[in-house]
Amino acid sequence: MTHLIPYEVYMSEPPKSSEDGTTTYNWALKQRRGHSALYAGIHSLDKDWDSYYVGFVGQISDAEDKPIEYSSYTEELKKSVECFLLKKKVVPVFLEDELHHGHYEGFCKTVLWPLFHYILWDTATDGRQENHNWLQYCAVNQAFADKIKEIYSPDSLVWIHDYHLLMIPRMLRNALPDAAIGLFIHAPFPSSEIFRCLPQRKEVLDGMLGANQIGFQTYSYARHFISNCTRILGYESTPSGVDAKGSLVSVGPFPIGIDAERVEEQRKSPDVATKMAALKEMHAGKRIIVGRDKLDLVKGVIQKLHAFEKFLSEYPEWQNKVVLIQVTSPSFTESPKLERRVAELIAQINGTYGSLEYTPVHHLHSLIEQDEYFALLSIADIGLITSVRDGMNTTSLEYIMCQQENYGPLILSEFTGMAGSLGAAIMVNPWDYSGVAKAINDALTMSNEEKQNKHLQLYRHVTIHTAQFWAKSFIKELVQCLTSSNQTNTTPSLDVQSLLTKYKQSKNRLLLFDYDGTLTPIVKTPSQAVPPPEMLEALQKLTEDPKNTVWIVSGRGQNVLEEWLGSIKKLGFSAEHGCFLKYPESDKWSNLTEDIDMSWYTDVEEIFTYFTERTQGSSIERKRSSITWHYRQADPEYGAFQAKECQNHLEGAILPKLPVEILLGKKNLEVRPTLINKGEIVKRLLTGMQEVDFVFCAGDDRTDEDMFRVLKRTPDFNDLECFTVTIGPPTKKTLASWHVSSPEEVIQTMKTLANS
């Protein structure tokens, strides 16, 4: 388990020095407030897993409870703290104060936290400082990743928590390709219209997609994440997640709960009963509405006060009969302006509707003890939560647990993370003050039978979907996700040493390369996929070897291939998926479609034109023997929808009548003659090269599978030394025997062969 929650360590007694010069330390952990749901969940896994917790070592204090400066941390002190924490199965990460400040206060709290809660930043920001904080954010994530690698074993599961550590999954994936990695986000996740404002949006999404499974509090947050991946990164999505370059990352909702047994035990404490009696006496004859929130903009305290004022105005019969007890705890992003506004509103309400005997709003701005908190929840007649954006809000769940005798209704903002789980609560829009006022009146006038029925539904959910249930559900899904992916045939990484050995032993070689996605990365604008110099150099060297016959087998047109690669005279070309051939050292192109009926072309062009006019960002690429509709620059979701509609139209109007087929490419649809494909070209080349004893074939998409199929299934070619290589992750469905992860690896392999 990996999270940023600090482990605060202090000396239980002064250090003792021995005669040999060593120092003995005695350490203890400070009691931490909050995060009880997270702790309960992850600790419940200890029975089934040998769990270790990688966490930041926060404040270290001496025996007088004075903080020890990081500059005073000796290696001996660090080692002592590490040994102490390891006994508690905590693996510590030590961070310099400046680095931690830039990561946490700098990037997490001033950039990510506001953004995730739909708050855009002040325009008057220091760009250099923001970039510095981003680098510190990455450095802290790298420190955590390095610590995880130290204790990682092949049978480990790594579970990373929250937005403070979003880069770790990719860092671990690059270092440990087969690692099992889960990521859970406890905060909301914004829509693409908000998230795209983040300058580092691509890096953050890519960092998250290093995980096997990503969990969110609600379905809407999971949907927002998937939408961000399609709109910002251009990845395809599936019902179960995101296809990140062929690797399926599972994405789904996992609503967190609370430790129901712990709350049940604590609410029955004698101290709680004493405080309950005192509160009841203090507010005798009054109906009590309770709110407990951090004093953040997103917690909706201002909206709650406005709604309560509206309630007293529109339902005057409740004046002098209802009080709002609002507890606000200090927030990290404390705002004097917000605190002042809250105080002004409370003074306004109490001044308008209060008297010497009646104070409508009681406000306490401080942390309260646990027994006071549970006493307050237990004596309430209504729980009122009006967050304008919230990740989870466990107060609502604790309120339900404390209302087993009173059955007080819960009024819950529809913008909280718990809204989707607590259907029996009274849902409100916190911006609709009249609506919230009506909900308060409805809750106060609700019959005992209805209150009891609603409470039982809520109680049943809270006691079933606990923090322990959440943790076990997430890990169970992660294991199933890994198991299902392991049941498919994973493609091994290319064995370059074996390839090199067979290459050297062979005498007559055929080397086949796709172009886009194989020799160059996929780009949004096809005309920008120009060949890099090192690829041209490697191709030139390979063609100069008399034992090699090298072909580019591409969907590109003749003119583009000649413009980019025509300078390499001994290179063979297959254009438009095999419709046109140009043999090495020849100046003539052969048209394999001369005898094929092309009357379908105009009909398909009309259909593509129709969809192009209605899909902004789409375009048509016209070739001599095929025609392609591209939608890479269109809105990802709308483009995919239009592509499906276009495909259905083609299949209904064109395919039944004419000898053509539809190729579903990467953000494109291509229509071509049925009898021409890359596999047929491979057959033709092999037939013309009777003495060939070695084939290397590399490609990345579905059209290249035709080549792999021929080389794998045709009995006549079984005596060949064949290396079929796909570009993508090992879990990609393919007929190829090997895989590499990127075009850069293909070029590196070409250079290795050329230099041999």
Tell me the one-letter amino acid at 119: I
pLDDT at 265 over 80: yes
Strand partners, 412: 385, 427
Q: How far is Cα 478 from Cα 470, in angstroms, rounded to an integer?
A: 12
Q: How far is Cα 272 from Cα 625, in angstroms, rounded to an integer?
A: 81
Strands 322-329 and 361-365: parallel
Q: How far is Cα 229 from Cα 261, in angstroms, rounded to an integer?
A: 39
Q: What is the pLDDT of residue 657?
A: 67
pTM: 0.79
Q: If pLDDT is split at 50, 70 and 90, which confidence band does 332 have?
A: low
The 10s digit of each residue's pLDDT in 22-32 is: 777 787 876 55
Once rounded to an integer, what is the mean pLDDT over residues 225-231? 90
Domain 37-253 matching CATH 3.40.50.2000: the answer reads yes
- Decide which of 3.40.50.2300, 3.90.550.10, 3.30.70.20, 3.90.1070.10 is the CATH code for 600-673: 3.90.1070.10
Once rounded to an integer, what is the mean pLDDT over residues 122-151? 86
Q: What is the pLDDT of residue 31?
A: 55
Three-state secondary structure call for residue 738: strand
**328-337, 422-431, 680-689 — which is least confidently predicted?**
328-337
Q: What is the pLDDT of residue 654?
A: 67
Q: How far is Cα 579 from Cα 589, in angstroms, rounded to an integer?
A: 10
Q: How far is Cα 562 from Cα 560, in angstroms, rounded to an integer?
A: 5
pLDDT at 731 over 90: no
The 10s digit of each residue's pLDDT in 441-474 is: 999 999 999 999 999 999 999 999 999 999 999 9
Q: What is the pLDDT of residue 718?
A: 53
Once rounded to an integer, what is the mean pLDDT over residues 74-92? 86
Tokens of 203: 């890096």
Q: What is the pLDDT of residue 35?
A: 61
Q: What is the pLDDT of residue 487?
A: 47
The 10s digit of each residue's pLDDT in 634-677 is: 888 888 889 888 988 887 766 666 777 888 877 889 888 877 78
Domain ranges of the chain: 37-253, 263-464, 496-592+676-754, 600-673
Tell me if 255 sits within 8 A of 218, measured CB to CB: yes
Q: How far is CA 72 from the centre of its chain?
A: 38
- How far apart, in Å, are the Cα atoms of 359 and each of 306, 440, 709? 16, 18, 81
Q: What is the pLDDT of residue 279?
A: 93
Three-state secondary structure call for residue 549: strand
Q: How far is Cα 535 from Cα 567, in angstroms, rounded to an integer?
A: 13
Q: What is the pLDDT of residue 51?
A: 85
Tokens of 661: 């087929």
Which CATH code for domain 496-592+676-754? 3.40.50.1000
Fold of 263-464: Rossmann fold (3.40.50)
Residue 696's H or E segment, with its range, is strand 694-699
Tell me if 213 sits within 8 A of 249, measured CB to CB: yes
Residue 511's H or E segment, with its range, is strand 509-513
Tokens of 742: 């990127």
Q: What is the pLDDT of residue 481?
A: 84
DSSP E strands, 18-161: 23-29, 53-61, 90-93, 157-161
Whether 600-673 and 37-253 are alike in CATH topology: the answer is no
Tokens of 708: 């792999």
Q: What is the pLDDT of residue 3?
A: 62
- Is 514 labeled as catalytic in the residue annotation? yes
Question: Could you say which of 390, 514, 516, 704 is catalytic?
Answer: 514
The 10s digit of each residue's pLDDT in 377-426 is: 999 999 999 999 988 888 999 999 999 999 999 999 999 988 888 989 99
